[in-house]
Amino acid sequence: MNGRICDRIALGRDAGPCEPKRAIVFYEPSFAPGRLGIGGPSRSFPSISITGARCALNCKHCGGRLLKGMIPAESPRELLAICERIREGGGIGCLISGGCDRSGSVPLAGFLEAISKAKRDLGLKVVVHTGIVGEEVAEGLGRAGIDAALIDLIGSAEAIREIYGIEASPRDYEGSIRALRSHGVPVVPHILVGIHYGRLGGEVRALEIASKCDPQALTFIVLTPIRGTAMESVEPPSPLEVAELISIARSSMADIPLSLGCVRPKGDHRAKLDALAIAAGVDAIAFPSGSAIALAESMGLRVRFSNSCCSLIHEDISM
């Protein structure tokens, strides 16, 4: 275990006894069955796929499997009806996602009005997973006033080509973030650690891109081998490798909230990573291990819980 990170377990990020205690938020959205007992409706913050289980890319790490756990809404009318049910059931918001087309984009253009109504008329928290975006979608999401756009920021052209199977480059992802920010959309890039067959390659480049693009927050997710995919037997990066990247981000983006997202290996890997992530300075963890909560409390951190999405840490950290 890296000594620099271990030292932070004892010290946290507080510079002295007179400064406010560091806060950390533990998230348990209703993407999956929860354990924390936070309370709220079982579908308080569900994930919705506007393409159902369909994805044109069939990426090697996912193969469309993640879409199968989402609520399908393949028309704007269906999407708005689901959002109305979320509000009527006491829910607070939703993640709107979907499979990508051959350009690496989630086909959001026809759903922009429904997204706007979900946010402005129904008052829901709305988080949108975009993929690569152009000006039309970026402008529409800006008009809708969504709470956050999520985009997997890949820093290696080789990984994009080999894993996603598209002819795109890190510049396309950077351009998407800049387009979204130019229309006032809060952007939370997701760094998928180990996307290139478990090896680290473009992650530092991705951090450099993120640091230049004025993100509202930054989320780290970790390659998680999924049964039935081309990468089901790939070894994910170690907890220490992930924590070192978080530490780099913490040092270079001191004022940007950092979260450890819901996509990461379970079991012992998760418990070790959660502890190291807290030591490295994350502000939020989704679906934390029990030992992570105990560690945060033992460090004297201001622990809070939420059943929304960890991408909203930029809104929650100041509350």
238 Cα distance to chain centroid? 19
The helix or strand, by DSSP H or E, that contains position 220, with its residue range, turns out to be: strand 218-222
Going across the sheet that includes 187-193, the strands are 71-72, 47-49, 93-97, 125-129, 148-152, 187-193, 218-222, 258-260, 284-286, 23-27, 302-306
CA proximity to 43, closest of 148, 131, 124, 116: 124
Instruction: Summarize pLDDT for 106-135 with one digit per residue, the tens.
Output: 999 999 999 999 999 999 999 999 999 999
Q: Residue 12: is its pLDDT beyond 60? A: no
Superfamily of domain 3-316: Aldolase class I (3.20.20.70)
If pLDDT is split at 50, 70 and 90, which confidence band does 198 have? very high
Mean pLDDT over 193-220 rounds to: 96
Instruction: Summarize pLDDT for 228-269 with one digit per residue, the tens.
Output: 999 999 999 999 999 999 999 999 999 999 999 999 999 999
Q: Residue 5: is its pLDDT beyond 70? A: no
Question: What proportion of the chain, given as a percentage, has pLDDT over 90?
Answer: 86
CB atoms within 10 A of CB 158: 11
Domain ranges, ordered by start, for the chain:
3-316
Instruction: Summarize pLDDT for 127-165 with one digit per residue, the tens.
Output: 999 999 999 999 999 999 999 999 999 999 999 999 999
The per-type count for the chain, helices as H runs and strands as E runs, is 11, 11
Instruction: Summarize pLDDT for 168-184 with one digit per residue, the tens.
Output: 999 999 999 999 999 99
